[in-house]
Amino acid sequence: MDITVKDLGDGVAVLQLDGRLNMVTASCLRDHVGSAVSSGQNRIAVDLAGIEFIDSSGLGALINGLKTARQAGGDLRIAAPNDQVKLVLQLTNMERLLTAYDSAETAFNDD
Protein backbone atom coordinates (compact mmCIF):
# COMPACT_ATOMS: atom_id res chain seq x y z
CA MET A 1 0.00 0.00 0.00
CA ASP A 2 1.17 3.51 -0.80
CA ILE A 3 0.35 6.52 1.37
CA THR A 4 0.66 10.10 0.18
CA VAL A 5 0.38 12.85 2.80
CA LYS A 6 -0.93 16.33 1.97
CA ASP A 7 -0.94 19.19 4.45
CA LEU A 8 -4.07 21.32 4.01
CA GLY A 9 -3.10 23.71 6.78
CA ASP A 10 -5.15 24.51 9.90
CA GLY A 11 -4.08 21.18 11.44
CA VAL A 12 -5.59 19.10 8.63
CA ALA A 13 -3.65 16.31 6.94
CA VAL A 14 -4.96 14.18 4.08
CA LEU A 15 -3.64 10.63 3.90
CA GLN A 16 -4.27 9.29 0.42
CA LEU A 17 -4.17 5.49 0.44
CA ASP A 18 -3.58 3.26 -2.57
CA GLY A 19 -3.78 -0.54 -2.60
CA ARG A 20 -4.95 -2.96 0.08
CA LEU A 21 -5.54 -1.98 3.71
CA ASN A 22 -5.06 -5.28 5.48
CA MET A 23 -3.04 -7.07 8.17
CA VAL A 24 0.20 -6.46 6.27
CA THR A 25 -0.29 -2.72 5.71
CA ALA A 26 -2.35 -1.63 8.74
CA SER A 27 0.73 -0.74 10.79
CA CYS A 28 1.85 1.64 8.05
CA LEU A 29 -1.41 3.58 8.38
CA ARG A 30 -1.09 3.67 12.17
CA ASP A 31 2.46 5.03 11.81
CA HIS A 32 1.42 7.76 9.37
CA VAL A 33 -1.49 8.87 11.55
CA GLY A 34 0.80 8.93 14.61
CA SER A 35 3.40 10.99 12.74
CA ALA A 36 0.80 13.49 11.53
CA VAL A 37 -0.63 13.93 15.02
CA SER A 38 2.86 14.25 16.50
CA SER A 39 3.59 17.06 14.05
CA GLY A 40 0.49 18.99 15.12
CA GLN A 41 -1.98 17.79 12.51
CA ASN A 42 -4.73 16.37 14.69
CA ARG A 43 -7.46 16.51 12.03
CA ILE A 44 -6.86 13.59 9.70
CA ALA A 45 -8.81 12.89 6.50
CA VAL A 46 -8.16 9.42 5.10
CA ASP A 47 -8.85 9.24 1.36
CA LEU A 48 -9.93 5.67 0.60
CA ALA A 49 -10.62 6.17 -3.12
CA GLY A 50 -7.56 4.08 -4.03
CA ILE A 51 -8.27 1.25 -1.58
CA GLU A 52 -9.37 -1.88 -3.40
CA PHE A 53 -9.76 -4.04 -0.27
CA ILE A 54 -10.02 -3.61 3.51
CA ASP A 55 -10.10 -6.30 6.19
CA SER A 56 -10.60 -6.24 9.96
CA SER A 57 -6.96 -5.24 10.54
CA GLY A 58 -7.38 -2.26 8.23
CA LEU A 59 -10.58 -1.31 9.99
CA GLY A 60 -8.75 -1.61 13.31
CA ALA A 61 -6.04 0.75 12.03
CA LEU A 62 -8.69 3.34 11.13
CA ILE A 63 -10.28 3.03 14.58
CA ASN A 64 -6.84 3.32 16.18
CA GLY A 65 -6.20 6.45 14.12
CA LEU A 66 -9.55 7.88 15.21
CA LYS A 67 -8.61 7.30 18.85
CA THR A 68 -5.15 8.84 18.35
CA ALA A 69 -6.57 11.95 16.67
CA ARG A 70 -9.31 12.40 19.27
CA GLN A 71 -6.87 12.05 22.15
CA ALA A 72 -4.96 14.95 20.57
CA GLY A 73 -8.13 17.05 20.43
CA GLY A 74 -8.86 16.36 16.77
CA ASP A 75 -10.72 13.84 14.65
CA LEU A 76 -10.24 11.31 11.86
CA ARG A 77 -12.65 11.21 8.93
CA ILE A 78 -12.77 8.93 5.92
CA ALA A 79 -13.55 9.91 2.35
CA ALA A 80 -14.52 8.28 -0.94
CA PRO A 81 -14.87 4.64 0.19
CA ASN A 82 -15.71 2.14 -2.55
CA ASP A 83 -18.53 -0.39 -2.27
CA GLN A 84 -16.37 -3.06 -0.60
CA VAL A 85 -15.21 -0.64 2.09
CA LYS A 86 -18.79 0.60 2.62
CA LEU A 87 -19.97 -2.99 3.01
CA VAL A 88 -17.30 -3.73 5.65
CA LEU A 89 -18.28 -0.54 7.52
CA GLN A 90 -21.97 -1.50 7.40
CA LEU A 91 -21.44 -5.12 8.45
CA THR A 92 -19.38 -4.03 11.45
CA ASN A 93 -21.63 -1.06 12.34
CA MET A 94 -18.55 1.17 12.06
CA GLU A 95 -20.24 3.63 9.69
CA ARG A 96 -21.59 5.29 12.84
CA LEU A 97 -18.05 5.96 14.08
CA LEU A 98 -16.40 6.56 10.72
CA THR A 99 -18.65 8.87 8.75
CA ALA A 100 -17.78 8.84 5.07
CA TYR A 101 -17.36 12.10 3.15
CA ASP A 102 -17.32 12.60 -0.61
CA SER A 103 -13.86 14.19 -0.62
CA ALA A 104 -10.93 14.20 1.80
CA GLU A 105 -10.28 17.85 1.03
CA THR A 106 -13.78 18.82 2.18
CA ALA A 107 -14.16 16.40 5.12
CA PHE A 108 -13.49 19.15 7.66
CA ASN A 109 -15.35 21.98 5.92
CA ASP A 110 -18.25 21.76 8.40
CA ASP A 111 -16.05 22.71 11.38
- Is the Cβ–Cβ distance between 43 and 69 less than 8 Å? yes
pLDDT truncated to tens, each residue of the chain (111 aa)? Answer: 999 999 999 999 999 999 999 999 999 999 999 999 999 999 999 999 999 999 999 999 999 999 999 999 999 999 999 999 999 999 999 999 998 999 999 999 986
- Rounded distance between C-alpha atoms, residue 105 and residue 13, angstroms: 9
Which sequence spans correspond to the domains of the chain? Answer: 2-106
| CB-facing half-sphere around the CA of 51: CA atoms within 13 A | 30
pTM of the entire structure? Answer: 0.95
- What three-state secondary structure class fits 29? helix
Listed in sequence order, the residues at least 6 apart from 28 whose beta carbon sits closer than 8 Å to its beta carbon are: 1, 3
CATH number of this structure's domain 2-106, picked from the four choices 3.40.50.2300, 3.40.50.460, 3.30.750.24, 3.60.130.10: 3.30.750.24
- Rounded distance between C-alpha atoms, residue 102 and residue 68, angstroms: 23
